[in-house]
Structure formats: structure tokens, C-alpha cells
Amino acid sequence: MMIRGTSQTITIQYRCPFCRTDKTEDYPTEGFSKWYLEGANIQEAFPNLSATKREILISHICPDCQEKIFK
């Protein structure tokens, strides 16, 4: 996982462990800081994100593979 960003957003670059595809996703810096640095619950840190986007942070599983695995 690689992290880079600005004051407003953080871009996460990751490789899905199932399809091995490299992906990037943007997240709000404030929520990422609350979750990653302060240990907040991911639902509390990112209340406006979809469950799919939150799962990417937790497991690095891309949306396409999440669809196949969890649905």
C-alpha cells in the first residue's frame, strides 16, 4: 500500500490480493487520520463512504472482487 495526498484527500494505491490488479482510491484526509492514526472505528471515521470503499481500506480487496466474494 502506498499513501500520498494533499490536505483534503489521501490517495491510497493498493494491490488486490485476489486479482492482483493495482488500484488507487481517494479518501478524505480527516477521516483517514481519525481511523488510521487515532484508532477510530472505520464507520465513524468515514460515515459517508460506502461499505465497499471502507472494505478496500481494511482488506485491499478491489470492488470487482468484493462483488464476487461478498455478494
pLDDT, residue 6, reads: 67
Asked whether the CA dihedral 1, 53, 42, 26 is positive or negative, the reply is positive
pLDDT per position as a tens digit, 2-47? 666 667 999 999 999 999 999 999 999 999 999 999 999 999 999 9
pLDDT, residue 1, reads: 64
Count: domains in the chain: 1
pLDDT, residue 66, reads: 97
Q: Are 16 and 67 in contact (CB under 8 A)?
A: no
pTM of the model: 0.86
For the sheet containing 22-28, what is the strand order?
2-5, 9-15, 22-28
| Structural domain range at position 13 | 2-70
